[in-house]
Structure 1
Amino acid sequence: MKRDSRLSSVLHALLHIADRGEPLTSEVLAKCMNTHPVVVRRTMGLLREAGFVRSAKGRAGGWSMATDLDAISLRQLHEALGEPAVFAIGNRNETTECLVEQSVNAVLDRAFAEAEALLLERFASVTLADLAVEFSRRHADRRQGKV
């Protein structure tokens, strides 16, 4: 099963935008993320609809932040992306007559729901500002030759 990497991609793009402090085009972001500009536009469009970024056309255009980094949580971004499944594992067969498989499904479903709730709770407590601090620390370490 293919994993949904949009949240990771969005975080990558937003940190580039925040770090540069100026609008970045879909083409520039696509190069940073090793993807196609159409993918960037489609994904960033979801964030624009949620009010996290803005876009401008023209020579000085591109994507820019519409709100402060400390006002955006990972959970909010996850929701803006349509709340993709957080786990790539699941039940072998959702509808079955087998009582063994029904039991397995029931236990797994409860465990998945509890784990997802915990993860989303954690996502709600992590902001883009937290990620920017981590990036800044790593960048400073690299400049000092620590990495």
Structure 2
Amino acid sequence: MRKDSRLSRVLHALVHLNAIGTPVTSDDMAKMLNTNPVVVRRTMALLREAGYVNAAKGHHGGWTLSLPLANITLLDVHKALGENTLFTIGLTDEHQSCPIEQAVNQSLAEVMNAAEQLMLQRFGEITLDQLAIGVPSVKAHATP
């Protein structure tokens, strides 16, 4: 099963944007994240809509932070990406009238819901500047 690493990759990119301190193009960011520039633009557009980044066109254009990292939480980014659930574990629905399946699904759903609520609460307590502790400031336009 493939893991969804989009949140982790976006957090990585945002901390790099902070460290670099100058606009970073979608092409440069795509190289850094080992992905396609179109994927970067689509993802960063979601963050722009949420007010976390800006985009400038032109020769010295690119993506920049619009807020300090201390004003952005993991939960903010998670929500901006449109993430609905943290877990990919699914419940079976092949035998909905079976009392055993019902009991299993109810127990699993309760545990997953409780775990997800705890994770989202914790996401809201962690700001991106905490992720950047110890990251040196680059302040030069170069591919990270």
TM-score (norm 2): 0.89
| Equivalence for 1:44 | 44
Partner amino acid, structure 2, of 1:92? T
Query: Does residue 1:35 correspond to 2:35, yes or no?
Result: yes
Query: Does residue 1:20 correspond to 2:20, yes or no?
Result: yes
Q: How many residues align?
A: 136
Which structure shows the higher helix fraction?
1
Residues 53 and 66, structure 2, Cα contact 8 Å, conserved in 1: yes
Q: Which runs of 5+ in 1 are unaligned?
A: 137-147
Distance (whole Å) between structure 2 residues aligned to residue 134 and residue 92 of structure 1: 45
Tell me the CA shift for residue 94 of structure 1: 7.0
3-state secondary structure, aligned to 2:133 = helix
| Equivalence for 1:120 | 120
Residues 15 and 132, structure 1, Cα contact 8 Å, conserved in 2: yes
Distance (whole Å) between structure 2 residues aligned to residue 84 and residue 69 of structure 1: 23
| Equivalence for 2:77 | 77
Cα deviation 1:11-58 (Å, max 9, x = unaligned) = 111111111000000000001111110010000000000000000000
| Equivalence for 1:90 | 90
Tell me the CA shift for residue 93 of structure 1: 2.4
Partner amino acid, structure 2, of 1:23? P
Which consecutive aligned stretches of 4+ in structure 1 deviate over 6 angstroms post-superposition? Answer: none
Q: 1:28 to 1:110 in 2, by over 3 A?
A: same
Residues 95 and 101, structure 2, Cα contact 8 Å, conserved in 1: no
Distance (whole Å) between structure 2 residues aligned to residue 12 and residue 6 of structure 1: 10
3-state secondary structure, aligned to 2:63 = strand
Q: Which runs of 5+ in 2 are unaligned?
A: 137-144
| Equivalence for 1:145 | none
Identity of aligned residues (%): 51
3-state secondary structure, aligned to 1:10 = helix
Q: 1:103 to 1:66 in 2, by over 3 A?
A: same
TM-score (norm 1): 0.88
85-94 vs 41-50, greater mean Cα deviation? 85-94
Cα deviation 1:80-124 (Å, max 9, x = unaligned) = 011242112121227611110011101111111000000001100
**Higher relative contact order (CA closer than 8 Å, sequence separation 6+):** 2
Structure 1 vs Structure 2 CA RMSD: 1.4
